Structure 1
Amino acid sequence: MAVFCDLPEEVVTEILLRLPLESLIRFKCVKRSWYALISDPAFVAKHLRLHHCNNYNKVSSSPSLFVRYLRVNSLLRREIVQEFSILNLVNDDDNGENGRVNSVVENFELPVIPGGKSLRLVSQCDGIILLAHLEANIALLWNPAIREFKVLQNSCFPDGFVILGVGFGYDCRANDYKAVRIVSSVNPNDGNHSRAEVYTLGTDSWREIKLHIKVGFIPGDRREVYCKGAYYWWIQNHIRTNMILSFDMCDEEFHEITVPVNVEMAEGMPSTLAVWNDSLALFISPLQRGVSKLIDMWVMDDCFGGVKRFSWTKHLVIETPSGISIPVAFWSSDELLMAKTYWKSDQTGFHTEMLVSYNLHTQKVRNLPICGVLPGSAIAFSFVKSLISVKGGTNPLQRL
């Protein structure tokens, strides 16, 4: 009787490609040829494409989100801690009729690095997550699935600048991953207040690039996102006008995008950028007594007849149930992760939230097993585990 190792190499490859990442990590230890195959960049890229497609289309895979939120650790007398989890939505037969979603939560802990407690989740692409500490000028690439991380060093602007915003994405032309950083001079006599640099993973180096826009403020936290080869920030320019700034990972060019009509006048209204069906989506949430009642969802079309242009279409208006606040992220075309606020203070003296799943078509709200979240602290991105190396190292993990 034939054994697995007697199968033709191309058959073994096809079988391994269909296995989950956790199995492949274990199978690296089986034999040297398997280690070489599973580590090969071509195999890694093909495995990612296959499982990303399955994840997006919900074929033999569960939609996943990488979620970061803040929680009060009552055991340590109100010390605020960050939690990082992968939230997997499991399709079930009762479709959540019991008011809950069948889901699996997988918790992760940050690598141990200086300033790690203050690292902010920024974005992810192909299973690689960018975290940053803007005040300490620290940027970190982290693949939690293979527990590998890399601190991005040797910035072009080490002193005399403050970091306004960072982003991360994939350059399909160069087949490489890039981080971009926007900084501002602390010297009031510097005529060019906003400058930018880009980091390329393949060369492990930063270089300055042109930025013709004066950036005043980038709020971050649900107001920035990576989508289809470009990174987007909701910003205020130097004259305090709301707009969206985009960065093309291939061309390494910045573009100014006006927000939908009348939205720029919505001072103080919560806004969220998200990815919906491979398009940039914008949520505007007018508040009534601290809670959003109606949420406008706008979708951007970024190309007309092959010419790079930007236009917005109002896709729908969501009338949220009581207690539902700002949208967090999509994890499928019709399921939206949102936060539900409990206005009753707990023993720590803080109002708290729980995460829920809201269906745009059925308008059903289903509870998720994450609660006790500090209001407004949840950030999430669609996520697929990958074998892509950030060309860094690993270390023992501890809770920060």
Structure 2
Amino acid sequence: MRIPLEESLPLFPKIVGSVDGLVCLDISPCYASDFAMWNPGTKQIKRLPLPLITSSRDNPIWMVFHGFGFDSFNNDYKLVRIVSFRGNDASPFLRVEVYSLREAVWKEIEERFELALLCGGQDGVVVDGSLNWAAIGLQGFADRKVVISFDMGREVFKTIPLPPVTRYGNVKVVSYMGLLAVAVYPLVFAANGNNMNRFEFWVQGDCEDGMKRWSNMVVVENFSKSLVPVGTWGDRELVFKHVGVRDRENQSSLFLFDPVDHTTKRLPVDFVDICFQGFSYVESLVSVSRRS
């Protein structure tokens, strides 16, 4: 699909998120510093104002994480940008800003989450009005995998500990049946030989005592390192991509897996590569210039 921007882009745009027919694009060459809101159904596109937090010679940006979702409490669509600077003591220093589509402005927020290093390559996943990122804990959560969750309505963060099995595996945060879930799968390379050789799928649900707890739905031993989870289809089936070399017997690079009945389906798609990411999209008439 052709993105109807008047100016040429230095690189292919990156999808930040897709909600209610609106697709948020990162169109910057680096540091997630330029965004556009696009509705492919109406062919509307709007370039957003530049973010407030920028890189400088004295304080260069180290990494940037982002997410896009709908704030049902304020009837607003929001883009969250988490900017990490490397501090003098080698620990990351974080600043956070939020763009409101309704107000058409960026604002920096003072709310901070407990110190953690977000895992690269993963955008925020929307679950029940919050954006969620996988992270590696520091200080009080040292050497533990956690989820950093941002409540889009109250604009506050919280840290969610993960099951201990995640220590030696990759973690992919997904939405499953409206609940927060994580897929844990083998690392391709692991330091000191520490690695898990299985796939596990955990879902966080409400218990009778009102607390949220993780439950293990799936364990697959001797799991292939060439299969990588990329999201969910219909909020029900897990989507995997095959990152190994394809052969005549494996023409498809995408697979669907149902965690309930453990059935697997291949999707006849032959253009998927290691950079493939999946997003949900539905057509809508929501305006890219949505205001109060």
**Band of TM-score, shorter chain:** 0.7 to 0.9
- TM-score scaled by structure 1? 0.59
Question: Do the aligned partners of 1:338 and 1:357 also contact (CA within 8 Å) in 2?
Answer: yes
Q: Distance in 1 between matches of 2:40 and 2:130?
A: 23
The match for 1:119 is 13
The match for 2:2 is 109
- The C-alpha deviation readout for 1:103-161, integer Å capped at 9, x for no partner, is xxxxx333435546243222222122222244251122222222222222142213435
Question: Do the aligned partners of 1:245 and 1:257 also contact (CA within 8 Å) in 2?
Answer: yes
Superposition deviation, residue 374 in structure 1: 2.0
Question: Do the aligned partners of 1:154 and 1:205 also contact (CA within 8 Å) in 2?
Answer: no
The match for 1:258 is 161
The match for 1:369 is 268
Q: Does 1:199 align with 2:102?
A: no
1:305–1:136 distance in 2 versus 1, CA, 3 Å: same
Question: Do the aligned partners of 2:31 and 2:64 also contact (CA within 8 Å) in 1?
Answer: no
- TM-score scaled by structure 2? 0.78
Q: Distance in 1 between matches of 2:87 and 2:226?
A: 43
- Secondary structure in 2 aligned to 1:243? strand
The match for 1:149 is 45
The answer to which structure, 1 or 2, has the higher relative contact order (CA under 8 A, 6+ apart) is 1
Q: Distance in 1 between matches of 2:10 and 2:136?
A: 28
Question: Do the aligned partners of 1:334 and 1:359 also contact (CA within 8 Å) in 2?
Answer: yes
Q: Does 1:277 align with 2:177?
A: yes
Q: Distance in 2 between matches of 1:270 and 1:152?
A: 33
The match for 2:204 is 300
Q: Distance in 1 between matches of 2:216 and 2:38?
A: 35
Question: Do the aligned partners of 1:324 and 1:338 also contact (CA within 8 Å) in 2?
Answer: no
The match for 1:170 is 70
Residue 301 of structure 1 aligns with an amino acid whose one-letter code is G
- The C-alpha deviation readout for 1:236-290, integer Å capped at 9, x for no partner, is 3455643211100100001111111242x21xx2321111100111000125899
Question: Do the aligned partners of 1:145 and 1:386 also contact (CA within 8 Å) in 2?
Answer: yes
Question: Do the aligned partners of 2:226 and 2:244 also contact (CA within 8 Å) in 1?
Answer: no
Residue 335 of structure 1 aligns with an amino acid whose one-letter code is E
1:353–1:374 distance in 2 versus 1, CA, 3 Å: farther
Q: Distance in 1 between matches of 2:198 and 2:90?
A: 43
Residue 215 of structure 2 aligns with an amino acid whose one-letter code is T
The match for 2:193 is none
Which is higher, the Rg of structure 1 or of structure 2? 1
Question: Gaps spanning 5+ residues in structure 2: where?
Answer: 191-195
Q: Distance in 1 between matches of 2:279 and 2:207?
A: 24
The match for 1:128 is 22
Q: Does 1:219 align with 2:112?
A: no
Superposition deviation, residue 224 in structure 1: 3.4
Cα RMSD (Å) of the superposition? 3.5
Q: Which structure: greater helix fraction? A: 1
- Secondary structure in 1 aligned to 2:278? strand
1:175–1:289 distance in 2 versus 1, CA, 3 Å: closer
1:128–1:305 distance in 2 versus 1, CA, 3 Å: farther
